Amino acid sequence: MTVEFTADFKRTIEQRLAHLYKPDDKAQALDALLSMLAKYQAIFPNKVQGHRWNEEDMILITYGDSVCGLENKPLQSLYKFWLEYLDKVLPCIHILPFYPFSSDDGFSVIDYKMVNHELGSWHDIMQISDNVDLMFDYVLNHISRESLWFVDYVSGNKPYTDYFIQLPPETDTHLVTRPRNTPLLAPIHTRQGLKYVWATFSEDQIDLNYANWRVLIAMIDVFLFYISKGARFVRLDAVAFLWKQLGTNCIHLPETHEVVKLLRDIIDEIAPWVVIITETNVPHSENLSYFGAGDEAHMIYQFALPPLVLFTMHRGNSETLTSWCMSLNPPPDNCTFLNFTASHDGVGLRALENILPPHELESLVDSMHQFGGFVSMKSNSDGTESPYEINISYYDAMLGTRTGPDQWQQQRFLCSQTLMISLQGIPAIYIHSLLATPNDLEGVESTGRLRSINRKKWQAVDLDKHLSSRDGLVFKEYKRRLQLRKMQKAFSPDAEQKVFDISSQLFVIRRSHKQQTLFAIYNVTSRIVELDLQKLYHGNDATLIDVLSGTQYQADKTIKIEPYQALWLS
């Protein structure tokens, strides 16, 4: 079957490529891209898109081997765990990179199109995708030094000699934004002698050279391959660093945004059911730029949310979170936020720049040390270092407040999670938050990596014991609240959100859908707080029902809210 694209689509693609490449390169790239798109469109399913998302969409974030021992292979164990515990709760799974890798727990990919045989096979992935919406990681900024592409570079084999960025070691790169404190240029022994290549994240993660149009086409092939394997959500990992230009900070460059727009154009044309998510751990205003004019990412990570919620609970004061939420503009049409409090990485701190004063950040970091956590640093252009992320289990981050540990860990943690899942957007829940996993200090000791503190690999027998323990009660209650959330039309990503500035002890929002209005109220302190409901609802004869407890409240009354209690009044 011959696939024909409209003249408008061809023109749009050509204009995108013209922003990236010289005329001859642009022409070759266009021919190669259109040919590839036709091939994939012929094999893509003809899905009917009823809606892009609704209130039932929630995402479980997990490694392929976060749960082991239920079946022969970890991916099979993960699927069995989902079937047993989460089938009617979380309809989507973000399986963190399940490809062969050499470091960084999957984010140094050796082969983009293979499944790590220690986890399972493509058959296992496809079996999961039959019943679950999947999010794939598209690690498009860099590749493992053990990949065939890089092996060919080292050997001097064309065209791979141009797939990476090679610079003299004395090159001035001080303007380049760094998320790590490792050297930017990694020394590599090649057949032509010692060379230095661009490596933003580590000497094992070598950046790709998108100034070479063949790299772009090869990586779009990977993107389309993932969609052919069942990806509904595609996460663009570290996309902000994609394009390099010496003399700039090499982050968020116009060419990077042009590549994201190109991917969006492709999705809109041949796979409109797919959702593109940009992962950019940067200050909040920079993060928002990846919506573009509604023509880039469908979703962006709310990187300011994890540290702001943590700060709110740690301080027992909602003022900063309230102010930040009130400053948020609604996302463009057909766009929304990905809300989360924890992930496989630490609690990123860059998003707090210009939001939290340095002394408050220092106090927060000090408390996380007290609760068993660590802090990772980043290099600054002036040669100094500053905190980049806190490494801690989010559950143990709730062990106490700035005054120290207390008895409220479970209630405080559940309040933080219930708050997150009620905000406008789609919630993503990290498996170790869902399971209330404590700090994995043994993991840090065995790997030597701080991030291992929140990457425990549960064996079935140990997980059973954990879920039968006191901390297992958190899992049961968290799961119950997720089930209730799915039933509330007011939690549709497209439902309006209004934030109320009522009290520093309360965080209050209203979510409004044509079929439901719901007030979400959170006591962020360890004290009982009173609230006059007339400040929220002006109907004196109305009865409000708390979705979470079933309790009824008269709208003209003052109510008492228990420490860290969450209310969903509908």
Exposure b/e, 227-243, CB count within 10 A at least 16 = b: beebbbbbbbbbbbbbb
Task: Tell me whether residue 451 is annotated as binding.
Answer: yes
Average pLDDT in the 24-53 region? 89
CB atoms under 10 Å from CB of 535, counted, come to: 12
| Chain segment 489-506, per-residue pLDDT in tens | 999 999 999 999 999 999
| Chain segment 160-193, per-residue pLDDT in tens | 999 999 999 999 999 999 888 889 999 999 999 9
* pLDDT value, residue 70: 86
d(CA 364, CA 361): 5
Percent of the chain with pLDDT over 90: 88
Sketch out the chain's domains with CATH numbers: 8-43+211-223+237-300 (no CATH), 59-138+224-236+301-491 (3.20.20.80), 142-207 (3.90.400.10), 496-569 (2.60.40.1180)
CB atoms under 10 Å from CB of 194, counted, come to: 9
Task: Tell me whether residue 142 is annotated as binding.
Answer: yes
d(CA 31, CA 420): 45
Beta-ladder partners of 67? 458
* pLDDT value, residue 394: 98
Task: Tell me whether residue 344 is annotated as binding.
Answer: yes
- Return mean pLDDT, the chain: 95
Q: Provide the terminal-to-terminal Cα distance of the chain, rounded to the nearest Å.
A: 53
Cβ proximity of 492 and 55 under 8 Å: yes
| Residue for token pair 């860290």 | 564
* pLDDT value, residue 89: 95
Q: 34-38, 46-50, 120-124, 320-324: lowest mean pLDDT where? A: 46-50
| Chain segment 412-449, per-residue pLDDT in tens | 999 999 999 999 999 999 999 999 999 999 999 999 99
Average pLDDT in the 88-100 region? 97
| Chain segment 446-495, per-residue pLDDT in tens | 999 999 999 999 999 999 999 999 999 999 999 999 999 999 999 999 99
Task: Tell me whether residue 123 is annotated as binding.
Answer: no
Percent of the chain with pLDDT over 70: 99
Task: Tell me whether residue 268 is annotated as binding.
Answer: no
Residue type, 129: S
pLDDT at 373 over 70: yes
Query: Helices marked H in 4-93 — which ranges?
Result: 7-18, 23-43, 74-81
Task: Tell me whether residue 532 is annotated as binding.
Answer: no
* pLDDT value, residue 48: 62
Does 204 participate in catalysis according to the annotation?
Answer: no
What predicted TM-score, i.e. pTM, was given to this entire model? 0.95
Average pLDDT in the 24-40 region? 97
Backbone angles phi, psi at 458, to 5 degrees: -75, 130
pLDDT at 1 over 60: no
* pLDDT value, residue 83: 96
d(CA 412, CA 335): 31
Task: Tell me whether residue 25 is annotated as binding.
Answer: no
Task: Tell me whether residue 236 is annotated as binding.
Answer: yes
Catalytic residue among 65, 237, 440, 546: 237
Structure tokens at 415: 């309040």
